[in-house]
Structure 1
Amino acid sequence: MWKGSRHWVAALLISTVPLVAEAQGEMASAPAQSKPDTATTSASRADSKAQKQALKEQRKAERKQARQVRNAELKNLERNGYGPQAAPDQYPENLLNAERKSAPQKAIPVGPASSN
């Protein structure tokens, strides 16, 4: 029993020798990697954090502006007769009438008459 296991271990060791030599050769030929400077790394992290914060503030401002526009449109509709609680059974007509009243009047271009 011991004889068979010795041969197996020997075969295993012999088969791994080329792999170990190859790995050592790669390590010797590979350029040495320098460790990153901790000051540079922390500065890049701070820049990244500042960029994320700036992006967050920009999105917040965009949401606030969109909310203001939406609320202004709703108030304009309410001033022109839209009220969902006033008459729920007449909902689509009330909304459409309020939209028509609040829509800016399109200017009709007054140009010279064509002489055909």
Structure 2
Amino acid sequence: MVTDKDGYMHLIQYLTEHLGLFESSENTVNTTETVMELFEDQLSAQIIMVCGQNPQLSFAQRNIVIREIDAIVYDLEEILASVANHQATPEQSIFITEFSGLIKNLFDQEVAHLLR
């Protein structure tokens, strides 16, 4: 649905281009959430929004969306393995929020396609 599209590959490339943000040794932490917890929270919120905005999605279609999010979280865990359990900095929080919004945009496009 999403993970096999060019847009997703571009987002993963965008993330890898910004890995330095996550490998920073700065310890200015404003949250108790780890990098992965923040990604999971943000992605969950975005997918709840996608499903809420598209009540006509069937149960099976919602399950496809959830499986895709699971695959995305798995990819993020692989890419961010060395920093996944570090507390998120303010800059990382901003990036994660932006990145999660971009993931939502991919889902918005694919769901619109799916519901035609």
Q: Shorter-normalised TM-score: what interval?
A: under 0.3
Compute the TM-score of the two structures, normalised by the length of structure 1. Answer: 0.26
Structure with more relative contact order (C-alpha pairs < 8 Å, separation 6 or more): 2
Compute the TM-score of the two structures, normalised by the length of structure 2. Answer: 0.26
